[in-house]
Structure 1
Amino acid sequence: MATGTNSNPLDCQECGACCTFAGEVVVEATDIVLPKYLTRSVRRMIEFGSWEADDGVRVMARSACNSCVALRLKGGRYACRIYEKRPGACREFAAGSHECSLARKQAGMHTELPGAEDDVSGSAS
């Protein structure tokens, strides 16, 4: 568990920023099998205006508010319903990392993280 500058622990089972702002989460064949209702097929363009399902690729489904469908609000905290069985991409997303800082800033959480840069766009000044 990483800490912010105020010594507040960053708890992945409390924040939820990465589950809303970090982008698509690809579910790999090596991941634990998840129920299909939690994932969706990725469609790819085969001709202008024509799409087909790419059966080999699935991503975590998104809710109407664009967060991962496995994210829930419980007791004032955001928590992953499948945390112990979450996809590898979620396991690799480290609390306190640069990506974590960007997701938290996009969520309006302006907690400064150790080593976090102020530039949310990722471009160099």
Structure 2
Amino acid sequence: MSKIEAINLPAPGVTCSNCHACCCRLEVMLLTDTGVPERFVESDAWGGQVMARLDDGWCAALDRGTMMCTIYENRPWVCREFEMGSYECVTERDEHM
């Protein structure tokens, strides 16, 4: 492969195996009822419901061993819309890695 061909190759994509769950550091507002267990719900300073975060800033529903969501089937709407590999995802990864 020539250097020019190598330069034009797309960057490796974000996958479950290399994700690092950077978005799990963001504040997540609960806008719809998806069945998030109450133990993961907190109120913010304005009375809105948000996903609980631990002292280290990570989402309380994140399994630290696997870096995967423990409530994936009941994750908030915002988490469902935050697409892996999207511009927003890549931007978050760049800021936190």
Is the Cα contact below 8 Å between 1:16 and 1:78 reproduced in 2? yes
The superposition leaves residues 52-83 of structure 1 with CA deviations (integer Å, 9 ceiling, x where unpaired) of xx2xx200011111011011122xx3110001
Corresponding pairs, count: 88
The residue correspondences of 1:1-40 to structure 2 (distance < 5 A) are: 5-6=11-12, 9-11=14-16, 14-20=19-25, 23-28=26-31, 30-40=32-42
> Unpaired runs of 5+ in structure 2?
1-9
Structure 1 length as normaliser, TM-score? 0.61
Bigger strand share = 1
Bigger helix share = 2
Structure 2 length as normaliser, TM-score? 0.76
Q: CA RMSD in A?
A: 2.2
Is the Cα contact below 8 Å between 2:14 and 2:84 reproduced in 1? no
Counterparts in 2 of 1:32 and 1:62: CA distance versus 1, 3 Å: same
> Unpaired runs of 5+ in structure 1?
45-53, 109-125
Which position in structure 2 is the counterpart of 1:79? Answer: 68
SS at match of 2:91: helix
Aligned-pair identity (%): 34
Is the Cα contact below 8 Å between 1:14 and 1:79 reproduced in 2? no
**Partners of 1:86 and 1:58 in 2: how far apart?**
14
**Partners of 1:64 and 1:13 in 2: how far apart?**
24
**Partners of 1:72 and 1:78 in 2: how far apart?**
5
Which position in structure 1 is the counterpart of 2:45? Answer: 43
